[in-house]
Amino acid sequence: MASLASSSKDEFLTKEELERFDYKELVKMDNIYSFKASKKTKSTRVTKDAIVKRLLKEGVEKSKYKSKLSSYAKYELEHPLAKTMPSGNYLPPDIVGKIYTMKEQIEDREYEIEFVKAVFQPKTLPANKYNFFDFMLNGSIVNLSMTDPNFQMHAVNLYSPTYFIKDYKFLVSRLKVNAKKMRTEGVRYTEGRQIMVANFFSVNVISTYSRIIVINNILKKIEAYRNSHTVLKYPQEVASRLLEASYERYLWPPNNPLNVLKFYIKDLNKMLLKLRDYKILLSPSIIKELNKSLDRLNDYLVEPDPSIQGQANAKFSIRVLDNGPKFAVKSRFYSGNESRSLVKNKIKVNNTKKLTHKLEKINMQELKKSQKYSAMLRASQLIPKNLTSKRAKSL
Protein backbone atom coordinates (compact mmCIF):
# COMPACT_ATOMS: atom_id res chain seq x y z
CA MET A 1 0.00 0.00 0.00
CA ALA A 2 3.00 2.29 0.60
CA SER A 3 3.88 2.12 -3.09
CA LEU A 4 0.29 2.96 -4.01
CA ALA A 5 0.26 6.01 -1.68
CA SER A 6 3.59 7.31 -2.98
CA SER A 7 2.59 7.03 -6.64
CA SER A 8 0.13 8.99 -8.68
CA LYS A 9 -3.27 7.38 -9.04
CA ASP A 10 -2.97 7.83 -12.83
CA GLU A 11 -0.31 5.12 -12.84
CA PHE A 12 -2.80 2.46 -11.75
CA LEU A 13 -5.82 0.91 -13.44
CA THR A 14 -9.14 2.37 -12.35
CA LYS A 15 -12.22 0.37 -11.47
CA GLU A 16 -13.78 1.06 -14.90
CA GLU A 17 -10.60 -0.04 -16.66
CA LEU A 18 -10.29 -3.22 -14.62
CA GLU A 19 -13.90 -4.13 -15.39
CA ARG A 20 -13.07 -4.13 -19.11
CA PHE A 21 -10.80 -7.13 -18.71
CA ASP A 22 -12.29 -10.58 -19.09
CA TYR A 23 -12.54 -12.82 -16.04
CA LYS A 24 -9.59 -15.08 -16.94
CA GLU A 25 -7.28 -12.08 -17.24
CA LEU A 26 -8.49 -10.68 -13.90
CA VAL A 27 -7.76 -14.02 -12.17
CA LYS A 28 -4.17 -13.90 -13.50
CA MET A 29 -3.77 -10.32 -12.27
CA ASP A 30 -5.31 -11.32 -8.90
CA ASN A 31 -2.74 -14.08 -8.45
CA ILE A 32 0.11 -11.69 -9.27
CA TYR A 33 -0.92 -8.66 -7.19
CA SER A 34 -3.36 -9.74 -4.46
CA PHE A 35 -1.56 -12.74 -3.02
CA LYS A 36 2.06 -11.68 -2.71
CA ALA A 37 2.11 -11.98 1.07
CA SER A 38 -0.90 -14.24 1.63
CA LYS A 39 -2.54 -17.23 -0.01
CA LYS A 40 -6.07 -17.85 -1.13
CA THR A 41 -8.31 -19.70 1.30
CA LYS A 42 -11.63 -21.46 0.94
CA SER A 43 -13.34 -18.29 2.06
CA THR A 44 -11.62 -16.09 -0.55
CA ARG A 45 -14.25 -14.64 -2.83
CA VAL A 46 -13.45 -15.11 -6.53
CA THR A 47 -16.29 -13.16 -8.15
CA LYS A 48 -15.37 -10.46 -10.61
CA ASP A 49 -16.40 -7.71 -8.20
CA ALA A 50 -14.29 -9.19 -5.37
CA ILE A 51 -11.23 -9.50 -7.61
CA VAL A 52 -11.60 -5.92 -8.85
CA LYS A 53 -11.82 -4.64 -5.24
CA ARG A 54 -8.64 -6.51 -4.28
CA LEU A 55 -6.78 -5.22 -7.34
CA LEU A 56 -7.86 -1.64 -6.63
CA LYS A 57 -6.56 -2.01 -3.10
CA GLU A 58 -3.19 -3.42 -4.20
CA GLY A 59 -2.83 -1.26 -7.29
CA VAL A 60 -2.16 -2.59 -10.81
CA GLU A 61 0.33 -0.62 -12.90
CA LYS A 62 -1.37 0.73 -16.00
CA SER A 63 1.80 0.71 -18.10
CA LYS A 64 2.00 -3.09 -17.94
CA TYR A 65 -1.52 -3.51 -19.41
CA LYS A 66 -1.67 -0.48 -21.69
CA SER A 67 -1.69 -2.43 -24.98
CA LYS A 68 -4.21 -4.97 -23.70
CA LEU A 69 -6.40 -2.20 -22.33
CA SER A 70 -6.42 -0.40 -25.70
CA SER A 71 -7.31 -3.64 -27.48
CA TYR A 72 -10.22 -4.11 -25.05
CA ALA A 73 -11.33 -0.51 -25.64
CA LYS A 74 -11.25 -1.07 -29.39
CA TYR A 75 -13.12 -4.36 -29.03
CA GLU A 76 -15.82 -2.70 -26.92
CA LEU A 77 -16.10 0.13 -29.43
CA GLU A 78 -16.64 -2.37 -32.25
CA HIS A 79 -18.73 -4.71 -30.10
CA PRO A 80 -21.00 -2.69 -27.77
CA LEU A 81 -22.36 -5.90 -26.23
CA ALA A 82 -18.95 -6.47 -24.63
CA LYS A 83 -19.25 -3.38 -22.42
CA THR A 84 -19.84 -3.93 -18.73
CA MET A 85 -23.33 -2.83 -17.68
CA PRO A 86 -23.91 -0.28 -14.87
CA SER A 87 -24.99 -3.16 -12.63
CA GLY A 88 -21.55 -4.70 -13.05
CA ASN A 89 -22.84 -7.63 -15.12
CA TYR A 90 -21.14 -8.43 -18.40
CA LEU A 91 -21.13 -11.01 -21.19
CA PRO A 92 -18.05 -13.23 -21.45
CA PRO A 93 -16.00 -12.57 -24.62
CA ASP A 94 -16.73 -16.03 -26.07
CA ILE A 95 -20.49 -15.40 -25.79
CA VAL A 96 -20.07 -11.92 -27.30
CA GLY A 97 -18.10 -13.47 -30.16
CA LYS A 98 -20.81 -16.05 -30.84
CA ILE A 99 -23.53 -13.38 -30.82
CA TYR A 100 -21.66 -11.20 -33.32
CA THR A 101 -20.86 -14.21 -35.51
CA MET A 102 -24.58 -15.09 -35.59
CA LYS A 103 -25.42 -11.45 -36.33
CA GLU A 104 -22.96 -11.41 -39.22
CA GLN A 105 -24.34 -14.68 -40.59
CA ILE A 106 -27.92 -13.36 -40.45
CA GLU A 107 -26.85 -10.15 -42.18
CA ASP A 108 -25.01 -12.20 -44.81
CA ARG A 109 -28.08 -14.35 -45.50
CA GLU A 110 -30.23 -11.23 -45.81
CA TYR A 111 -27.73 -9.62 -48.17
CA GLU A 112 -27.42 -12.76 -50.31
CA ILE A 113 -31.21 -12.87 -50.75
CA GLU A 114 -31.30 -9.16 -51.62
CA PHE A 115 -28.43 -9.74 -54.07
CA VAL A 116 -30.53 -12.31 -55.98
CA LYS A 117 -33.75 -10.31 -55.58
CA ALA A 118 -32.09 -7.28 -57.18
CA VAL A 119 -32.20 -9.25 -60.47
CA PHE A 120 -35.32 -11.39 -59.97
CA GLN A 121 -37.47 -8.73 -58.33
CA PRO A 122 -35.95 -5.25 -58.89
CA LYS A 123 -37.46 -2.23 -57.21
CA THR A 124 -37.44 -0.32 -60.51
CA LEU A 125 -38.80 -1.94 -63.69
CA PRO A 126 -36.65 -1.71 -66.83
CA ALA A 127 -37.51 0.68 -69.64
CA ASN A 128 -38.86 -0.70 -72.92
CA LYS A 129 -35.94 -2.24 -74.84
CA TYR A 130 -36.82 -3.46 -78.31
CA ASN A 131 -34.96 -6.75 -77.77
CA PHE A 132 -35.72 -7.39 -74.09
CA PHE A 133 -38.05 -10.38 -74.65
CA ASP A 134 -36.34 -11.59 -77.86
CA PHE A 135 -34.77 -15.04 -77.94
CA MET A 136 -33.04 -17.43 -80.31
CA LEU A 137 -34.87 -20.53 -81.51
CA ASN A 138 -33.49 -23.06 -84.00
CA GLY A 139 -30.83 -20.56 -85.03
CA SER A 140 -33.26 -17.70 -85.73
CA ILE A 141 -34.13 -14.65 -83.63
CA VAL A 142 -37.74 -14.51 -82.46
CA ASN A 143 -38.53 -10.82 -82.17
CA LEU A 144 -41.11 -9.79 -79.58
CA SER A 145 -40.94 -6.01 -79.88
CA MET A 146 -44.01 -4.29 -78.42
CA THR A 147 -45.57 -0.98 -77.46
CA ASP A 148 -44.67 0.68 -74.16
CA PRO A 149 -47.98 -0.25 -72.44
CA ASN A 150 -47.60 -3.91 -73.46
CA PHE A 151 -43.96 -3.95 -72.37
CA GLN A 152 -44.87 -2.50 -68.95
CA MET A 153 -47.62 -5.10 -68.52
CA HIS A 154 -45.23 -7.95 -69.31
CA ALA A 155 -42.46 -6.47 -67.14
CA VAL A 156 -44.85 -6.28 -64.18
CA ASN A 157 -45.77 -9.95 -64.69
CA LEU A 158 -42.18 -11.09 -65.15
CA TYR A 159 -40.91 -9.46 -61.97
CA SER A 160 -44.00 -10.05 -59.83
CA PRO A 161 -43.28 -12.28 -56.80
CA THR A 162 -46.54 -14.16 -57.51
CA TYR A 163 -46.12 -14.86 -61.25
CA PHE A 164 -43.00 -16.97 -60.87
CA ILE A 165 -42.87 -18.21 -57.27
CA LYS A 166 -39.28 -18.37 -56.01
CA ASP A 167 -37.54 -19.92 -53.00
CA TYR A 168 -34.80 -17.32 -52.56
CA LYS A 169 -32.90 -19.23 -49.88
CA PHE A 170 -32.64 -22.19 -52.24
CA LEU A 171 -31.65 -19.94 -55.16
CA VAL A 172 -28.85 -18.39 -53.10
CA SER A 173 -27.47 -21.88 -52.51
CA ARG A 174 -27.92 -23.15 -56.10
CA LEU A 175 -26.45 -19.99 -57.65
CA LYS A 176 -23.56 -20.05 -55.13
CA VAL A 177 -24.07 -16.50 -53.90
CA ASN A 178 -21.74 -16.10 -50.92
CA ALA A 179 -21.48 -12.82 -48.98
CA LYS A 180 -18.34 -13.93 -47.13
CA LYS A 181 -16.54 -14.56 -50.41
CA MET A 182 -17.68 -11.18 -51.69
CA ARG A 183 -16.00 -9.58 -48.67
CA THR A 184 -12.76 -11.54 -48.97
CA GLU A 185 -12.43 -11.64 -52.78
CA GLY A 186 -13.70 -8.15 -53.53
CA VAL A 187 -15.44 -6.33 -56.35
CA ARG A 188 -14.26 -8.55 -59.20
CA TYR A 189 -15.78 -11.66 -57.63
CA THR A 190 -18.98 -9.78 -56.73
CA GLU A 191 -19.44 -8.47 -60.28
CA GLY A 192 -18.83 -11.99 -61.62
CA ARG A 193 -21.66 -13.29 -59.43
CA GLN A 194 -23.92 -10.47 -60.62
CA ILE A 195 -23.29 -11.37 -64.27
CA MET A 196 -23.91 -15.06 -63.54
CA VAL A 197 -27.23 -14.40 -61.73
CA ALA A 198 -28.38 -11.96 -64.45
CA ASN A 199 -27.46 -14.47 -67.16
CA PHE A 200 -29.34 -17.27 -65.38
CA PHE A 201 -32.44 -15.07 -65.10
CA SER A 202 -32.23 -14.10 -68.76
CA VAL A 203 -31.68 -17.60 -70.15
CA ASN A 204 -34.19 -19.37 -67.92
CA VAL A 205 -36.84 -17.04 -66.53
CA ILE A 206 -37.20 -14.36 -69.24
CA SER A 207 -37.03 -16.96 -72.00
CA THR A 208 -39.72 -19.01 -70.26
CA TYR A 209 -41.92 -15.94 -70.01
CA SER A 210 -41.27 -15.18 -73.71
CA ARG A 211 -42.76 -18.60 -74.60
CA ILE A 212 -45.88 -17.64 -72.65
CA ILE A 213 -46.11 -14.39 -74.63
CA VAL A 214 -46.02 -16.35 -77.92
CA ILE A 215 -48.65 -18.84 -76.70
CA ASN A 216 -50.98 -16.03 -75.66
CA ASN A 217 -50.38 -14.14 -78.93
CA ILE A 218 -51.48 -17.15 -80.99
CA LEU A 219 -54.49 -17.80 -78.74
CA LYS A 220 -55.54 -14.15 -79.15
CA LYS A 221 -55.10 -14.35 -82.93
CA ILE A 222 -57.43 -17.36 -83.20
CA GLU A 223 -59.89 -15.85 -80.70
CA ALA A 224 -59.97 -12.60 -82.72
CA TYR A 225 -60.91 -14.57 -85.85
CA ARG A 226 -63.56 -16.46 -83.89
CA ASN A 227 -65.12 -13.22 -82.60
CA SER A 228 -65.16 -11.59 -86.02
CA HIS A 229 -66.65 -14.55 -87.95
CA THR A 230 -69.86 -16.48 -87.46
CA VAL A 231 -68.47 -19.92 -88.28
CA LEU A 232 -68.92 -22.55 -85.53
CA LYS A 233 -65.53 -24.18 -86.09
CA TYR A 234 -62.09 -22.94 -87.06
CA PRO A 235 -61.96 -23.48 -90.85
CA GLN A 236 -59.26 -25.76 -92.24
CA GLU A 237 -58.31 -23.28 -94.97
CA VAL A 238 -57.82 -20.48 -92.40
CA ALA A 239 -56.03 -22.72 -89.89
CA SER A 240 -53.62 -23.85 -92.63
CA ARG A 241 -52.33 -20.34 -93.35
CA LEU A 242 -48.72 -19.96 -92.33
CA LEU A 243 -47.60 -17.37 -89.80
CA GLU A 244 -45.42 -15.40 -92.19
CA ALA A 245 -45.91 -11.80 -91.03
CA SER A 246 -42.71 -10.29 -89.59
CA TYR A 247 -44.31 -9.87 -86.16
CA GLU A 248 -45.45 -13.53 -86.16
CA ARG A 249 -42.23 -15.28 -87.12
CA TYR A 250 -42.27 -17.46 -84.05
CA LEU A 251 -40.91 -20.55 -85.83
CA TRP A 252 -38.71 -21.14 -88.82
CA PRO A 253 -39.60 -22.34 -91.38
CA PRO A 254 -43.09 -20.75 -91.01
CA ASN A 255 -45.92 -23.01 -89.90
CA ASN A 256 -49.63 -22.77 -89.17
CA PRO A 257 -50.93 -21.37 -85.86
CA LEU A 258 -51.84 -24.67 -84.17
CA ASN A 259 -48.55 -26.38 -85.02
CA VAL A 260 -46.63 -23.38 -83.71
CA LEU A 261 -48.82 -23.34 -80.59
CA LYS A 262 -48.21 -27.03 -79.86
CA PHE A 263 -44.47 -26.60 -80.42
CA TYR A 264 -44.34 -23.75 -77.91
CA ILE A 265 -46.39 -25.58 -75.28
CA LYS A 266 -43.92 -28.50 -75.45
CA ASP A 267 -40.99 -26.09 -75.29
CA LEU A 268 -42.54 -24.23 -72.36
CA ASN A 269 -43.00 -27.51 -70.47
CA LYS A 270 -39.31 -28.35 -70.90
CA MET A 271 -38.33 -24.97 -69.49
CA LEU A 272 -40.76 -25.23 -66.58
CA LEU A 273 -39.22 -28.59 -65.65
CA LYS A 274 -35.79 -27.00 -65.54
CA LEU A 275 -37.01 -24.07 -63.44
CA ARG A 276 -38.56 -26.55 -61.02
CA ASP A 277 -35.05 -27.82 -60.22
CA TYR A 278 -34.27 -24.34 -58.95
CA LYS A 279 -37.53 -24.15 -56.96
CA ILE A 280 -38.96 -21.58 -59.36
CA LEU A 281 -42.60 -22.37 -60.10
CA LEU A 282 -44.99 -20.75 -62.53
CA SER A 283 -48.03 -19.65 -60.54
CA PRO A 284 -50.74 -22.35 -60.47
CA SER A 285 -53.33 -19.70 -61.37
CA ILE A 286 -51.35 -18.79 -64.53
CA ILE A 287 -51.10 -22.45 -65.52
CA LYS A 288 -54.82 -22.92 -64.86
CA GLU A 289 -55.72 -19.88 -66.98
CA LEU A 290 -53.48 -21.00 -69.86
CA ASN A 291 -55.01 -24.47 -69.86
CA LYS A 292 -58.53 -23.03 -69.68
CA SER A 293 -57.74 -20.99 -72.79
CA LEU A 294 -56.47 -24.14 -74.54
CA ASP A 295 -59.67 -25.97 -73.57
CA ARG A 296 -61.77 -23.11 -75.00
CA LEU A 297 -59.73 -23.29 -78.18
CA ASN A 298 -60.42 -27.02 -78.44
CA ASP A 299 -64.17 -26.26 -78.45
CA TYR A 300 -63.54 -24.27 -81.63
CA LEU A 301 -61.59 -27.08 -83.30
CA VAL A 302 -62.85 -30.21 -85.06
CA GLU A 303 -62.28 -33.87 -84.31
CA PRO A 304 -59.10 -35.28 -85.94
CA ASP A 305 -59.76 -36.76 -89.40
CA PRO A 306 -57.12 -39.31 -90.47
CA SER A 307 -58.11 -38.78 -94.11
CA ILE A 308 -56.92 -35.15 -94.02
CA GLN A 309 -53.15 -34.99 -94.27
CA GLY A 310 -51.64 -32.26 -92.10
CA GLN A 311 -55.03 -31.31 -90.65
CA ALA A 312 -54.50 -27.82 -89.23
CA ASN A 313 -57.71 -27.36 -87.25
CA ALA A 314 -57.85 -30.63 -85.28
CA LYS A 315 -58.30 -30.81 -81.53
CA PHE A 316 -55.20 -31.61 -79.48
CA SER A 317 -54.54 -32.77 -75.92
CA ILE A 318 -51.18 -31.24 -74.97
CA ARG A 319 -51.41 -28.82 -72.03
CA VAL A 320 -49.10 -26.81 -69.81
CA LEU A 321 -47.67 -29.00 -67.04
CA ASP A 322 -48.87 -28.27 -63.52
CA ASN A 323 -46.32 -27.86 -60.75
CA GLY A 324 -46.94 -31.14 -58.96
CA PRO A 325 -45.96 -31.42 -55.27
CA LYS A 326 -44.06 -28.35 -54.08
CA PHE A 327 -41.95 -30.12 -51.48
CA ALA A 328 -40.69 -33.66 -51.03
CA VAL A 329 -42.68 -35.68 -48.47
CA LYS A 330 -40.59 -37.25 -45.71
CA SER A 331 -40.46 -41.03 -45.99
CA ARG A 332 -42.14 -43.14 -43.29
CA PHE A 333 -42.05 -46.82 -42.46
CA TYR A 334 -44.92 -48.84 -43.88
CA SER A 335 -45.77 -52.52 -43.76
CA GLY A 336 -47.98 -54.91 -45.68
CA ASN A 337 -50.19 -53.36 -48.36
CA GLU A 338 -48.93 -49.88 -47.49
CA SER A 339 -45.38 -50.98 -48.27
CA ARG A 340 -46.39 -52.22 -51.77
CA SER A 341 -48.20 -48.94 -52.36
CA LEU A 342 -45.11 -47.01 -51.31
CA VAL A 343 -42.93 -49.00 -53.72
CA LYS A 344 -45.33 -48.22 -56.58
CA ASN A 345 -45.29 -44.54 -55.71
CA LYS A 346 -41.50 -44.58 -55.51
CA ILE A 347 -41.32 -46.16 -58.97
CA LYS A 348 -43.61 -43.42 -60.30
CA VAL A 349 -41.41 -40.72 -58.75
CA ASN A 350 -38.25 -42.29 -60.18
CA ASN A 351 -39.84 -42.55 -63.62
CA THR A 352 -40.85 -38.89 -63.40
CA LYS A 353 -37.30 -37.95 -62.46
CA LYS A 354 -35.90 -39.96 -65.37
CA LEU A 355 -38.35 -38.29 -67.77
CA THR A 356 -37.45 -34.87 -66.39
CA HIS A 357 -33.74 -35.61 -66.77
CA LYS A 358 -34.24 -36.89 -70.31
CA LEU A 359 -36.27 -33.86 -71.35
CA GLU A 360 -33.70 -31.51 -69.89
CA LYS A 361 -30.80 -33.35 -71.55
CA ILE A 362 -32.53 -33.16 -74.94
CA ASN A 363 -33.26 -29.48 -74.45
CA MET A 364 -30.00 -28.41 -72.83
CA GLN A 365 -27.78 -28.15 -75.90
CA GLU A 366 -30.50 -26.47 -77.94
CA LEU A 367 -31.30 -24.12 -75.05
CA LYS A 368 -27.69 -23.10 -74.52
CA LYS A 369 -27.07 -22.58 -78.24
CA SER A 370 -30.35 -20.88 -79.04
CA GLN A 371 -30.47 -18.52 -76.07
CA LYS A 372 -26.84 -17.53 -75.73
CA TYR A 373 -27.34 -14.57 -78.04
CA SER A 374 -30.42 -13.20 -76.29
CA ALA A 375 -28.86 -13.82 -72.88
CA MET A 376 -25.85 -11.71 -73.77
CA LEU A 377 -28.12 -8.92 -74.98
CA ARG A 378 -30.16 -8.90 -71.80
CA ALA A 379 -27.67 -9.72 -69.06
CA SER A 380 -26.10 -6.26 -69.01
CA GLN A 381 -29.58 -4.71 -68.72
CA LEU A 382 -30.40 -6.84 -65.68
CA ILE A 383 -27.29 -6.22 -63.55
CA PRO A 384 -28.00 -3.69 -60.78
CA LYS A 385 -25.57 -0.81 -61.23
CA ASN A 386 -25.25 0.22 -57.59
CA LEU A 387 -25.33 -3.11 -55.73
CA THR A 388 -21.57 -3.78 -55.84
CA SER A 389 -20.59 -0.33 -54.60
CA LYS A 390 -23.21 -0.42 -51.85
CA ARG A 391 -21.96 -3.80 -50.60
CA ALA A 392 -18.34 -2.68 -50.74
CA LYS A 393 -19.15 0.26 -48.50
CA SER A 394 -21.23 -1.77 -46.05
CA LEU A 395 -18.66 -4.54 -45.76
Averaged pLDDT score across all residues of the chain: 80
Which amino acid type is present at position 291? Answer: N
pLDDT at 386: 53
pLDDT at 85: 63
Cα distance between residue 365 and residue 349, in whole Å? 25
Does residue 343 carry a pLDDT above 50?
A: no
- Name the residue among 211, 206, 209 with its Cα closest to residue 381: 206
pLDDT, tens only, 194-219: 999 999 999 999 999 999 999 999 99
Q: What is the C-alpha end-to-end distance of the chain, expressed in Å? A: 50
To the question of pTM greater than 0.95 for the whole model, the response is no
Residue spans of the domains in the chain: they are 2-83, 99-319+362-394
Cα distance between residue 383 and residue 133, in whole Å? 16
Of residues 368 and 218, the one with the higher pLDDT is 218
pLDDT at 324: 63
Alpha helices in 121-167 (DSSP H): 148-159
Tell me which of 46-50, 74-78, 235-239, 299-303 is least confident: 74-78
Residues 6+ apart with CB under 8 A from 123: none
* Model confidence band, residue 56 (pLDDT cutoffs 50, 70, 90): confident
pLDDT at 96: 64
Cα distance between residue 294 and residue 297, in whole Å? 5
Residues 6+ apart with CB under 8 A from 76: 20, 82, 83
Hey, what's the torsion of the CAs at 328, 333, 337, 339, to 10 degrees?
60
- Name the residue among 193, 199, 124, 186 with its Cα closest to residue 389: 186
Q: Return the percentage of the chain with pLDDT > 90, whole number.
A: 47
